[in-house]
Amino acid sequence: MKNNKIFTIMLITVLMVSATGFSQQKITVKGSDTMVILAQKWAELYMKSNPSASIQVTGGGSGVGITALINGTTDICNSSRPMKQTEIEKLKARYNTLGVQIPCAKDGITIFLNEANKVQELTLKQLSDIYQAKVKNWKDVGGNDAPITVYGRENSSGTYVYFHDEVVKGDYAATVQTLPGTAAVVNAVKKDVNGIGYGGAAYAVGVKHAKVKNDTNGPAFLPTAESIGKGEYPITRYLYMYLRNRPTGENKKYIDWILSQEGQMVATEVGYFPYK
């Protein structure tokens, strides 16, 4: 009898909490710095055509966005890399879901060089050697006799992780100067004649793109719509949105719009590429 009473109290509490739990809030989007310009543009245009919608976009890096998704402080997480198994395990432990991965655009990680740099193309191996400080002088990769200044992102960045896993495939050298955001990397390379950096294509203003090739004998490609669309550019990746649960209500309407032709055109205008 006593047990039944406690069951009843708990059930009532559950129902009360359920009723408050489903009230719709404004949409918060957090994560990838690479995607922040794109996400802000999407939010701005969507809110213009849907005045009742309220979307707040912030950056911080893919890692920060995924942590916010796990902690429940954001509705949508933007990430320029897939979630790691350890992060999915945390989501499972806290929300009992595997998370929902939505590819929303394609990006080619662009290699930024100063406009005065005479190097035109680099292989994946050369990039790996440069970021591991195995190659320290531009003359070793066809440039002038000058030391290479290497710029990169902080470890909370999805681009940092993707570049590490797919290109560097080893430890970043301690000499890599970490900067907060792709814009800061571009700015540093713009001012530094011996600089090299990497980041999303949309930020590359005032610097030149290096062509990238898989190996010495293969063709080199610039990150263009065509080369990325065909999968020829060697450092092509998807950009993702992650949610804790399958989207419903306002979240679903917003994501459907992003994946529509109109939303994908925005991705192209900003400097990225349609997800399919």
Partner 1 sequence: MKKLLAITIFMMVSVYGYSQKQNPDSLKEVIEKHEGRLNALDERVLVNEADLGKLNKIKVSGYIQAQWESYGKDLEKSNGYNNTFYIRRARVKFTYEALDGVKFVLQPDFSTGNLVLKDAYAVVNIPKLKDFTLWTGQFNRPDYEVEYSSSQREVLERSRVIRTIYPGEREIGVKLEYVGSTIPLKVQLMAMNGNFTAAQAKDVDSKKDLMGRIVYSIKLPDAGIGIDFGANGYFGGNLAKTNPYISNSDGTADSVKVWSYLDKNWVGGEVQIFADVLGGMAIKAEYIAGINSTASTIAGTSTMAQMKASPNLFNNFSGYYLYFIKNIGPKDQFIARYDYYDPNTKLSGDAAGNNIYYTTWTVSLQHYLNDNIRISLNYEMPKNEINASNSTEKKDNVLGVRIQAKF
Q: Which residues bind partner 1 (CB under 8 A)?
A: 3, 6-7, 10, 13-14, 17-18, 20-22, 71-73, 85, 92-98, 100-101, 171, 174, 244-246
Q: Which tokens is 209 given?
A: 């793109």
Continuous segment of H or E residues that includes residue 18: helix 2-21
Between 228 and 241, name the residue whose CB sits nearer to partner 1: 241
Half-sphere exposure of 235 (CA within 13 A, CB side): 34
Q: How far is the CB of 197 from partner 1 (least distance, A)?
A: 19
Between 121 and 154, name the residue whose CB sits nearer to partner 1: 154
Between 40 and 177, name the residue whose CB sits nearer to partner 1: 177
Q: In whole angstroms, give the CA distance from residue 155 to residue 137.
A: 25
Between 13 and 268, name the residue whose CB sits nearer to partner 1: 13
Quick one: how far is CA 176 from the chain centroid? 20
Q: How far is the CB of 22 from partner 1 (least distance, A)?
A: 6
Q: How far is the CB of 9 from partner 1 (least distance, A)?
A: 9
Between 49 and 85, name the residue whose CB sits nearer to partner 1: 85
Q: Where are the alpha helices (DSSP H) in 98-208?
A: 124-131, 158-163, 182-191
Q: How far is the CB of 155 from partner 1 (least distance, A)?
A: 9
DSSP bridge pairs for 29: 57, 76
Kindly report the number of other CB atoms within 10 A of residue 93's CB atom: 9
Q: How many residues does the chain have?
A: 276
Q: How far is the CB of 234 from partner 1 (least distance, A)?
A: 20
Helices 85-95 and 62-71, packing angle to 10 deg: 20
